[in-house]
């Protein structure tokens, strides 16, 4: 109750404070999808496990894929090298680039890589030859951890394949010319002229590619500057949010004196320090930005000192003294100073962002113009070369017809010799078929193993995402509930004498409902936290812990007649804090469910189930139907007809703790004859 009352008495959501800025940003979250889809460059977004989480329309058109077919899949599941193309390096190059980002946390530029586009067909997949270059950028979350990797892709096939094709045609023509005896000196001169034209075309294309690469590098630098400025603005906003959270935690501690709010206060201070350190690193190298940041940091430190002074007054002088100190108005002045400094800094950063965005637009236009000019020049060169080749081919047609007659005679001789090798070829074919069947069987087994491994990895990822989502939703629900409690208290204090009994009842029902929801969120947060707490290994006296839990329960309801049968000498190896949570929930459940009996018995002990040492908690309460046993350890699942208060989280928490210790838990019961909960723990290594 006190915890809920401590809610944000004067809390103002931090969002509106930031939205008071008059500059044209930041972009609303609802518009980011539109902006992402409008980016002209193909872009792909990966999570830290290299699974695809987003792709814009330009990328889908370039790779001829659909969004629903690629989202959620690993990038190398969908885009792999052509197994028949030994010179393809795209998969290896991309893998190396992503490994560098995961290791170093820095952007990485990939040179042109050969990476074919898969074309599914009835007779198997084929690959269309393409060359790619990519600028891969890491994106970090508010906690400083890698959140996403953005791949900005460019198809450079026309720049890479044209010189290779031209060089190949020139080499083929030269070799064929050497083999023909009927070419005149004039034909040789023509061949040399065509070859020189090819070399000139290749040189021009290489020059165009180099210029394009230089301009592309400059464009990447301008893009990086814009991204850098966005990150600085985001960190400034996060510092203000962190400071607001610290102010809220301090106010809650002054009102309730609950040490838990001090932990929240310290967490907010730590987050502020991390964001400030990140902002310093972002502004490193710019004296003007560092000077503005020093002013912001001084204002933040002054406000934090005032908050801590209020906490010290609460500890030493009590609630009234702290309330008087807080009501002096100095904190509001300091907070306004912080807000003013941050807003001024953000406004300056916004001006810088506008300049960098203008520069980026200018460079983009320049790159597009140069690409267009280069493309037109390449088309003109290729047209001239094609005309010259067509004339050369016509002249050489006559010589090729004579060669065809001579080749026919040669083929007749070769055919006679080939028949002698038919038997050998047949035997080799049989051997290849046997090898093919063996390889197919091995491939099927490898694919089955890979599918099993991928399925297990996807299941693990889904579980982690579900736990993170559970914690985030529960945490974000707390603020509106606290606001409801605060407004209920405010209405009662300011308008209570003007409301009739019915309205006061409605107000109380609203307040009680918010409190109940708040306690449910606490349970949900506690349950989610169990998935992330590191399990320590230490010697734990479960008997002593059980006696402590029983004594605490007796103090809560001294009038009850409950006999505790607690076995002595039960010592295990595990996390003491987590195992105490197990006993608090199991013995607490037994206490709760025997509450309707005049006299009750609750027992804690150890027994053998098969060859395994098993611990148990038994009660003589109402019991349950074994058909409901599978639902006991599922979050929010409660047995039908259960009239006892609860959230359905306790037993789920117990099951998670026992499982993380390497044990298991189950229950047995019968309606009207009590229940017994068994759990196991790994044997002590000593």
Question: Within a domain: residue 497?
Answer: yes
What is the domain-level CATH number for residue 554?
A: 3.30.565.10
Q: Which of 147-156, 312-321, 377-386 has the highest mean pLDDT?
A: 147-156
Q: Residue 639 belongs to what domain range?
A: 538-679
Question: Within a domain: residue 652?
Answer: yes
Note the pLDDT tens digit of each residue in 191-220: 777 677 778 777 877 887 787 777 777 777
Domain ends where: 488, 507, 529? 529
Q: Looking at the structure, do residues 514 and 610 belong to the same domain, yes or no?
A: no
Structure-model confidence comparison of residues 68 and 188, the more confident one: 68
Q: Looking at the structure, do residues 506 and 564 belong to the same domain, yes or no?
A: no
Domain ends where: 484, 499, 529? 529
Number of domains forming the structure of the chain:
2
Structure-token pair, residue 609: 């189930």
* pLDDT for res 630: 76
Q: Looking at the structure, do residues 523 and 614 belong to the same domain, yes or no?
A: no
Question: Within a domain: residue 471?
Answer: yes
Q: Are 524 and 649 in contact (CB under 8 A)?
A: yes
Q: Looking at the structure, do residues 577 and 641 belong to the same domain, yes or no?
A: yes
Note the pLDDT tens digit of each residue in 496-506: 788 888 888 88
To the question of pTM greater than 0.85 for the whole model, the response is: no
Comparing 107-111, 318-322, 413-417, 507-511, which segment has the lowest mean pLDDT?
A: 413-417
Is the pLDDT at 16 greater than 60? The verdict is: no
Q: Looking at the structure, do residues 611 and 674 belong to the same domain, yes or no?
A: yes
Per-residue H/E/C for 57-85: HHHHHHHCCCHHHHCCCEHHHHCCCCCCC
Q: Looking at the structure, do residues 508 and 555 belong to the same domain, yes or no?
A: no
**What is the rounded distance in angstroms from the CA atom of residue 669 to the CA atom of residue 665?**
14
Q: Looking at the structure, do residues 544 and 639 belong to the same domain, yes or no?
A: yes
Q: Looking at the structure, do residues 655 and 597 belong to the same domain, yes or no?
A: yes
Using CA of residue 116, residue 117, residue 122, residue 124, what is the dihedral sign?
Answer: positive
Question: Within a domain: residue 545?
Answer: yes
Report the length, in residues, of the chain. Answer: 686
Q: Looking at the structure, do residues 500 and 545 belong to the same domain, yes or no?
A: no
Q: Looking at the structure, do residues 469 and 576 belong to the same domain, yes or no?
A: no
Per-residue H/E/C for 517-566: HHHHHHHHHHHHHCCCCCCCCEEEEHHHHHHHHHHHHHHHCCCCEEEEEE
Note the pLDDT tens digit of each residue in 63-113: 888 888 889 988 887 776 666 666 566 677 888 889 999 998 898 888 777
Question: Within a domain: residue 262?
Answer: no
Note the pLDDT tens digit of each residue in 353-396: 788 788 878 878 877 877 787 778 778 877 777 787 777 777 77
Domain ends where: 529, 561, 576? 529
* pLDDT for res 604: 96
Is the pLDDT at 452 greater than 60? The verdict is: yes
Q: Looking at the structure, do residues 576 and 647 belong to the same domain, yes or no?
A: yes
**What is the rounded distance in angstroms from the CA atom of residue 94 to the CA atom of residue 681?**
45
Question: Within a domain: residue 9?
Answer: no
**What is the rounded distance in angstroms from the CA atom of residue 647 to the CA atom of residue 637?**
9
List C-alpha distances in Å: 365 to 43, 359, 361: 19, 10, 6
* pLDDT for res 95: 86
Question: Within a domain: residue 546?
Answer: yes
* pLDDT for res 616: 96
Structure-model confidence comparison of residues 345 and 679, the more confident one: 679
Q: Looking at the structure, do residues 547 and 671 belong to the same domain, yes or no?
A: yes
Question: Within a domain: residue 160?
Answer: no
């Amino acid at each position: 109750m006190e915890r809920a009352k401590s809610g944000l008495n004067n809390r103002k959501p931090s969002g509106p404070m930031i939205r008071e800025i008059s500059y044209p940003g930041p972009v609303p979250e609802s518009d980011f999808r539109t902006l992402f889809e409008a980016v002209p460059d193909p872009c792909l977004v990966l999570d830290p496990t290299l699974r695809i989480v987003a792709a814009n329309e330009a990328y889908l058109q370039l790779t001829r894929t659909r969004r629903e077919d690629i989202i959620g899949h690993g990038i190398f599941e969908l885009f792999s090298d052509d197994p028949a193309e030994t010179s393809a390096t795209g998969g290896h190059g991309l893998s190396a680039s992503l490994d560098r980002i995961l290791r170093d946390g820095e952007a990485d530029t990939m040179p042109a890589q050969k990476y074919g586009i898969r074309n599914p067909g009835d007779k198997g997949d084929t690959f269309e030859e393409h060359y790619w270059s990519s600028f891969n950028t890491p994106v970090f979350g508010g906690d400083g951890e890698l959140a996403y990797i953005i791949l900005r892709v460019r198809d450079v096939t026309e720049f890479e394949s044209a010189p290779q094709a031209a060089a190949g045609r020139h080499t083929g023509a030269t070799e064929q010319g050497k083999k023909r005896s009927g070419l005149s000196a004039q034909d040789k001169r023509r061949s040399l002229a065509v070859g020189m034209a090819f070399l000139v075309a290749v040189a021009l294309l290489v020059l165009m590619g180099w210029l394009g690469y230089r301009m592309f590098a400059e464009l990447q630098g301008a893009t990086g500057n814009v991204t850098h400025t966005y990150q600085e603005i985001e960190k400034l906003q996060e510092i203000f949010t962190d400071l607001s959270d610290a102010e809220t935690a301090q106010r809650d501690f002054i009102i309730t004196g609950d040490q838990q709010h001090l932990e929240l206060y310290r967490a907010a201070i730590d987050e502020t320090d991390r964001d400030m350190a990140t902002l310093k690193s972002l502004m490193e190298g710019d004296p003007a930005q560092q000077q503005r940041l020093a002013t912001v940091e001084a204002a933040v430190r002054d406000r934090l000192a005032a908050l801590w002074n209020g906490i010290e007054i609460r500890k030493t002088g009590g609630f009234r003294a702290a309330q008087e100190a807080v009501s002096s108005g100095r904190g509001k002045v300091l907070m306004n100073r912080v807000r003013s400094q941050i807003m001024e800094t953000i406004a300056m950063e916004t001006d810088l962002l506008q300049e960098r965005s203008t520069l980026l637009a200018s460079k983009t236009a320049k790159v597009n113009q140069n690409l267009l000019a280069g493309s037109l020049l390449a088309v003109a060169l290729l047209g001239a070369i094609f005309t010259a080749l067509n004339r050369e081919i016509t002249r050489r047609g006559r010589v090729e017809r004579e060669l065809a007659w001579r080749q026919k005679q040669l083929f007749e001789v070769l055919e006679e010799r080939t028949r002698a090798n038919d038997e050998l070829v047949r035997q080799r074919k049989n051997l290849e078929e046997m090898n093919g069947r063996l390889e197919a069987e091995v491939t099927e087994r490898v694919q089955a193993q890979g599918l099993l491994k991928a399925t297990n990895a996807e299941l693990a990822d889904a579980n982690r995402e579900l736990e993170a989502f559970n914690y985030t939703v529960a945490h974000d629900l707390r603020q509106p509930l606290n606001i409801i409690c605060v407004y209920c208290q405010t209405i009662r204090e300011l308008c209570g004498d003007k409301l009739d009994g019915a309205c006061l009842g409605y107000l109380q029902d609203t307040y009680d409902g918010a409190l109940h929801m708040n306690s449910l969120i606490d349970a949900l947060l506690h349950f989610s936290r169990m998935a992330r707490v590191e399990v320590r290994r230490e010697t734990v006296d479960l008997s002593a812990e059980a006696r402590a839990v029983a004594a605490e329960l007796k103090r809560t309801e001294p009038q009850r007649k409950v006999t505790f049968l607690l076995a002595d000498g039960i010592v295990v190896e595990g996390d003491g804090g987590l195992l105490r949570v197990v006993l608090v929930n199991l013995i607490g459940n037994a206490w709760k469910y025997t509450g309707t009996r005049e006299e009750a018995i609750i027992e804690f002990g150890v027994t053998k189930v098969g060859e395994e040492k098993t611990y148990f908690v038994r009660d003589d309460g109402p019991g349950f139907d074994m058909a409901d046993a599978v639902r006991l350890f599922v979050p929010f699942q409660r047995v039908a007809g259960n009239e006892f208060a609860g959230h359905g989280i306790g037993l789920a928490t117990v099951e998670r703790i026992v499982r993380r210790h390497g044990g298991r838990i189950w229950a047995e019961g019968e309606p009207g004859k009590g229940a017994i909960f068994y759990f196991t723990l790994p044997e002590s290594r000593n």
